[in-house]
Amino acid sequence: TQLLEQSPQFLSIQEGENLTVYCNSSSVFSSLQWYRQEPGEGPVLLVTVVTGGEVKKLKRLTFQFGDARKDSSLHITAAQPGDTGLYLCAGRYTGGFKTIFGAGTRLFVKA
């Protein structure tokens, strides 16, 4: 059972378009991370957000942590074919060892 709901599950867009993917939960997390995973490889960390309301930017990627630390979004500006991949959000609780992953958003950017 996934405690983190990601939407949309699948997204196919043209190069140059903007997009936003969402990660929602009823639980409060001490931190939330976004990963990108390519076929045949393990996930690679993109960003960690810790403070409610925090916004982080990584080139064309903007990450936001909700004020209540229950949800997050990833916005990509002017998507490129190299952005194609599976985007996973993952949350952690204070005092626990588990990282809880969402099912992911599979993004395909067409040239």
Residues that bind another protein (CB under 8 A): 2, 4, 30-31, 40-45, 48, 50, 88, 90, 92, 94, 96-104
Nearer of residues 14 and 97 to another protein, judged by Cβ: 97
Closest CA to 6 of 33, 45, 46: 33
CB of 28 to another protein, least distance (A): 12
* C-beta of residue 4 within 8 angstroms of C-beta of residue 24: yes
Residue 86 CB, nearest distance to another protein (Å)?
A: 8
* CA 27 to each of CA 3, 41, 70: distance values in angstroms, whole numbers, following the listed order: 8, 29, 6
